[in-house]
Structures are given as structure tokens and as C-alpha cells.
Amino acid sequence: MNEQSNSLGGRGTQHDQQRIQELGHDIGENAQALMRSLEGAARELEAMLREQVAQRPYGTLAAALTLGYVLGGGLPSRMTSLFLGIGSRLALAAMARELARQQLSANQPASLRPTTATNGLAY
């Protein structure tokens, strides 16, 4: 009964104290490993975002605005419907233009395909 009272409310046995210290040490190591993983993930996310901003500045801006809009709770439903309608029409038009451009480029002989100038724009 003495053993039971020690482990329930008393000082505990030497083994119990050692086990608690080991668990505390394991928790500390796991927390440090988690922090290293989070730091690595944050660096990777930052690099990806920088690359996206450099390659697609307007798309990244649109994504940031959309995220801010959603996190901010949005606007009243009529205005939301209006913005979604306009945004979806603009997005569909841009996708249709890109698809048409790709189809035209694929169907043209290589000698007639647009060339890329030094600034990266196709002519």
C-alpha cells in the first residue's frame, strides 16, 4: 500500500521520477525537431512565394486579394455576387485567350511561330 500511495500522491519512487525526466527530455527533443521542421517549411514557403511573385505578379496579387477578402469576412452578398460574376468572366476570357494562343501556336509551322524577344514578350 505504501508503493501505491507514493505513486498516487506522495513523492513517487526513484523509477517514476527518472521516467518523468526521460519523458520531459523526449518532449524537449521533439519540440526542437518540430521547430526545425517548421522553420524549414517556412523557408520553402517563402522561396515558393517569391518565385510566384517574380513569375506571376498579377496572379499572386489576385490570390492575395482573394485571401484577404475571404479572411476579412467578405462583403455583403449582392456585392460579392457582382464581384464573383465579373471575376469569373474575366478569368474565363483570359483562359480562352491563352487556350486559343496555344492552339494557334501548335498548329503553325515552326517558321511562323512567334519568337521571344530579350524581354520575354512574344511578338
Give the pLDDT of residue 117.
Answer: 52
SS3 breakdown of the chain: % helix, strand, coil, rounded to 5? 80, 0, 20
> Could you read off the pLDDT of 32-63 as tens digits, one per residue?
999 999 999 999 999 988 998 898 888 888 88
Q: How many helices (H) and strands (E) in the chain?
A: 4, 0
Domain count, the chain: 1
Q: Contact at 8 Å (CB) between 7 and 13? A: yes
Look up residue 105 and give its three cell numbers: 501556336
Is the model's pTM score more than 0.85? no
pLDDT value at position 12?
66
Answer yes or no: is 32 within a domain.
yes
Kindly state whether residue 70 falls inside one of the protein's structural domains.
no
Q: Say if 98 falls within a structural domain.
A: no
Q: Can you give the pLDDT at residue 10? A: 54
Is 34 contained in some domain? yes
Distance CA 115, CA 71 (A): 42
| Measured torsion, CA atoms of residues 13, 15, 18, 20, in degrees rounded to the nearest 10 | -70
DSSP string, 86-105: HHHHHHHHHHHHHHHHHHHH
Residue 123's pLDDT band (boundaries 50, 70, 90)? very low
Mean pLDDT of 15-28: 92
Count, residues in the chain: 123
What range defines the domain where residue 27 resides?
Answer: 1-56
Query: What per-residue confidence (pLDDT) applies to 105?
Result: 80
Whether residue 94 lies inside any domain: the answer is no
In a domain, 75, yes or no: no
In a domain, 40, yes or no: yes
In a domain, residue 114? The reply is: no
- What is the residue whose three cell numbers read 517563402? 46
pLDDT digits (tens, 9 = 90+) for 69-119: 877 777 667 877 888 889 889 989 988 998 888 888 877 766 665 555 544
Residue closest to 36 by CA, chosen among 113, 99, 68, 28: 28
